[in-house]
Structure 1
Amino acid sequence: MEQPIRTYSVLQYMTSISNKLKGTPPVWVHGVITQIAEKQKIVYMSIADFAEGDVKPIATIALSCFAGQFAALRQKTENAPTPFTIKEQLKVCLLIQADVYIPFGKLQAKVLDIDPVYTLGELAITKAAILKKLAIEGLLEKNKSIPLPPMPLCVGLITGEGTAAYKDFTTRLAASPFRFSVVPAYAKMQGNDTESSVIAALESLTANPEIDVICIVRGGGSKTDLNYFDSEALCRAVANCHIPVFTGIGHEIDKSLLDEVASVSCITPTDCAKRLVERATEGWNRLEQCALDVVNCAKEKLAEEKSYLTSLGTQLQRGVITRLHRENALHIQICTSLKKDISFIVKTEFERLDRNEEGLRQGSRKILDLEKSKFDLTETRVKAVDPQTIIARGYTLTLDSNGNFVRNARQLKEGDVLKTKFSDGSVESRVTGVHSN
């Protein structure tokens, strides 16, 4: 007879697995933190492995840690030689104890310790890799190559709202002899939102055409917050900004990658404001020197022009006097010549008038005699053709009844009465017939 198969409840099975896992020794496991969720008494985490160039994990393990234990681990990292904060996307090496969460049947190892040296090494490698990549692409010097305005009086300010950094920065500018205009763009200056909020503030300020420089400042505090300014995306945004960027992150010794790509890196917000005041002072001094140079140059030029004008005036005066003498002599010469010419012309005209007067007297008689001769000749010619003269020569004139001369036979018809004049009288006759030749 077959033995019945032994069965277990789910609880018995999971409890058995849990007991087995408790016998497994703790091991160090490294990976990238993909999630951190802090609940009331427990912090839930997960770490994963990724293939190079892929964002999808190839292996993931869920972790849990009591809140008190997690606080101890965080204090350990923050007290490291180079402090850092446990956060997502950070490479860590954790000492974990395998365990299973029976209600969900889920493998959930417990975090016992963290190796800061491993993470610091990874951070250094990552930072060095980013720095090398930025250098190869020429981004370390790109923002530095933008010329600084001689007097940067309109300042775009990226900082936390109502922070000591804002107060220190603006107070230092207000104490200067210059009238700075500060355009704030508030952002998160620590935590996971640092990158996105600072980039958004940077984009907002670069859209303002009045901005001369942009300052990113943050006051003192935990040194772990410096890690947020090693963001590659944030570094690229600053490097590619077309406005010079000043940084005053608040750390006097350590330097973030953001300081490397900025146009000017300052140690504190106050120092950042001080550098702006110094730049404005240099610009003002250059402006004053330029104004002084202009004044001195103008004085020299005026002195040269005055000397030139004096010399020119003397030459002009001499030239005018010489010209006046020459013109006066010419005027006298012209007047003398004019008098002679006028006397000659008047004398000539008088002589011409006398000749004309005599010519009129003699000529009028000649003209009258000539015209009289012409008249007499005309009179003789008229008399020669006078009908009376012609009749006296033996010719007759025939007139019709109306007293008109009859010049040809065609004017007459039978019955017309004609009057014929002779030198000693006239006769009347009547036409009895008309005969043509």
Structure 2
Amino acid sequence: MEQAQKRSSSLPSTAAQTTVENPWPLRVLSDKLKIHIENSPQVWVEGQLLEANIRNGHAYLVLRDVDADQSFSVTVWASVMRSLDTAPEVGSRVVARVKPSFYAKTGRLSLNAFDLRPVGLGDLLARLEKLRRALFDEGLFDPARKQPLPLLPGRIGLITGRDSDAEKDVIRNASLRWPAVAFDIRNTAVQGVNAVAEVIAALRELDANDEVEVIIIARGGGALEDLLPFSSEELVRAVSACTTPVISAIGHEADRPILDDVADVRASTPTDAAKRVVPDLADELANLAQARNRLDRAVRANVERERQRIASVRARPVLAFPQTMVQARREDVVRLGQRSTLAMRGSLVRGHDSIAHLRAQVRALSPQQTLDRGYSVIQHADGSIIRSADEAPVGSLLAVRLAHGRLDATVTSSHTPEEGTTP
């Protein structure tokens, strides 16, 4: 007894003080964990019931997270069971007020429930609507973010349940519309706790594939609880971040998970998604035939119009009788030549008359004309002209220039006009 007390007093007081030489006995760790865990406060948690065994009034449950593969054992004692309105049912979604419990003998951690309430349809709808409003306010549903679908995708990514009717509907209807359609299929869980993680993983894998030009997420109809994974905020944000256009084809027309709002295109059913993702070959062939007919008619009409225009041009006189145009131009040339000759002759006559007139004017101003009228020019012997009697004193030798010939003279007398008289 004393030895046990000594050994107990020598044990480390904290986990950090333990060593290889001085470890804790396992019971010490177990006792300390029990004290620590059971000092935790009560907490409300939400999950889905996977198992519900009721024995002797007590309920032994397995509660799993709705979005992750994590679960806890939950014990509901008979005293609590008697206060519940309804008994726990497998598959139902519940919220529970629990407190952790640690069974030291086996090291088993579980939860003790003091209240258990099913999550009603109204509560789920209210939560979804609140999340929908929050994502809308964030702008994830903005039409400007939505990408157009390719006219004819080379490869289509399909995320759906294995061997599901949705997969068959999409493949069958798309192949009927376009036989050469190619799919890259990813089979995932489409309900339950693994659905969100598997769909996101498949979505990211297809989005990273450059050959995939559009992605369809398809699932058949079901209860609201079955379609909850497609309203998961994590999945909605993953779809919003995709660079590849995404088509949501979940359930029927009346079903409206949040995925429909964030997807680039919402299809009312998987069959509708197949109709939206590829064109109908028969319609395209008919459209092609119509287009060829319209093109043929347009070409023929255009050729006929041009033929008529050519015929109209050829019927014009200038082309029907081209010599007419040459004859008219020849006559114009002759007429213009005659006009030029007449104009030149008139100009020459007027020039000749002008020259004769100017010649007469020049001759009228010539000194010879003055001499012809009987005047003469008196000059000194050196040829200088005498203009005044004072310039020729008596006895001066003069030369008198007449209209015809010249006279030599001697001044015998000189008379100067008196002042004030006319010479």
TM-score by length of 2: 0.50
Give the direction of change, closer, same or farther, for the CA distance of 1:225–1:117 in structure 2 (3 Å limit): closer
Residue 131 of structure 1 corresponds to which residue in structure 2?
A: 132
Q: Helix, strand or coil: the match of 2:225?
A: helix
String of CA shifts for 1:38-95, please: whole Å, max 9, x gaps: 7999555599xxxxxxxxxxxxxx76248xx9xx634472xxxxxxxx4xxxxx5326
1:268 and 2:283 aligned? no
Residue 94 of structure 1 corresponds to which residue in structure 2?
A: 96
Residue 183 of structure 2 corresponds to which residue in structure 1?
A: 182
Contact 2:177 2:280 in 1 (8 A): no
**Is the helix fraction higher in 1 or 2?**
1
- Aligned residue type for 2:196: E
The structure whose Rg is larger is 1
Contact 1:150 1:279 in 2 (8 A): no
CA drift at 1:223: 4.5
Match of 2:116 among 104, 114, 124: 114
Distance 2:192 2:260 in 1: 18
Give the direction of change, closer, same or farther, for the CA distance of 1:321–1:162 in structure 2 (3 Å limit): same
Contact 1:44 1:63 in 2 (8 A): yes
- Aligned residue type for 2:274: A
1:30 and 2:40 aligned? no
Contact 1:29 1:96 in 2 (8 A): yes
- Aligned residue type for 2:197: S
Distance 1:165 1:107 in 2: 41
Residue 170 of structure 2 corresponds to which residue in structure 1?
A: 169
1:299 and 2:300 aligned? yes
1:322 and 2:322 aligned? yes
CA drift at 1:216: 0.8
Distance 1:151 1:304 in 2: 38
CA drift at 1:160: 2.8
Q: Helix, strand or coil: the match of 1:184?
A: strand
Residue 254 of structure 1 corresponds to which residue in structure 2?
A: 255
Distance 1:243 1:98 in 2: 45
Task: Return 180-189 or 318-327, whichever deviates more.
Answer: 318-327
Give the direction of change, closer, same or farther, for the CA distance of 1:284–1:40 in structure 2 (3 Å limit): farther
- Identity, in percent, stands at 29
Task: Return 198-207 or 226-235, whichever deviates more.
Answer: 198-207
1:64 and 2:74 aligned? yes
Distance 1:227 1:272 in 2: 20
Give matches, 1:20-419, under 5 Å: 30-32=44-46, 43=61, 64-65=74-75, 73-75=88-90, 77=92, 86=93, 92-94=94-96, 101=103, 103=105, 108-111=110-113, 114-117=116-119, 121=123, 123-142=124-143, 145-152=146-153, 154-176=155-177, 178-220=179-221, 223-276=224-277, 290-315=291-316, 318-319=318-319, 321-323=321-323, 326=326
Distance 1:74 1:303 in 2: 82
- Aligned residue type for 2:175: A
Distance 1:277 1:128 in 2: 33
CA drift at 1:249: 1.9
- Aligned residue type for 2:105: P
CA drift at 1:227: 0.8
Distance 2:326 2:318 in 1: 12
Task: Return 304-313 or 252-261, whichever deviates more.
Answer: 304-313
Aligned length in residues: 275
Contact 1:220 1:251 in 2 (8 A): yes
Give the direction of change, closer, same or farther, for the CA distance of 1:306–1:198 in structure 2 (3 Å limit): farther
Contact 1:37 1:45 in 2 (8 A): yes
- Aligned residue type for 2:322: T
Give the direction of change, closer, same or farther, for the CA distance of 1:280–1:200 in structure 2 (3 Å limit): farther
Distance 2:183 2:177 in 1: 13
Distance 1:162 1:279 in 2: 25
CA drift at 1:184: 1.9
Contact 2:151 2:279 in 1 (8 A): no
Give the direction of change, closer, same or farther, for the CA distance of 1:119–1:150 in structure 2 (3 Å limit): closer
CA drift at 1:171: 1.6
Contact 1:43 1:64 in 2 (8 A): yes
Give the direction of change, closer, same or farther, for the CA distance of 1:94–1:149 in structure 2 (3 Å limit): same
Give the direction of change, closer, same or farther, for the CA distance of 1:217–1:94 in structure 2 (3 Å limit): same
- Aligned residue type for 1:179: A
Contact 1:143 1:242 in 2 (8 A): no
Residue 390 of structure 1 corresponds to which residue in structure 2?
A: none
CA drift at 1:271: 3.2
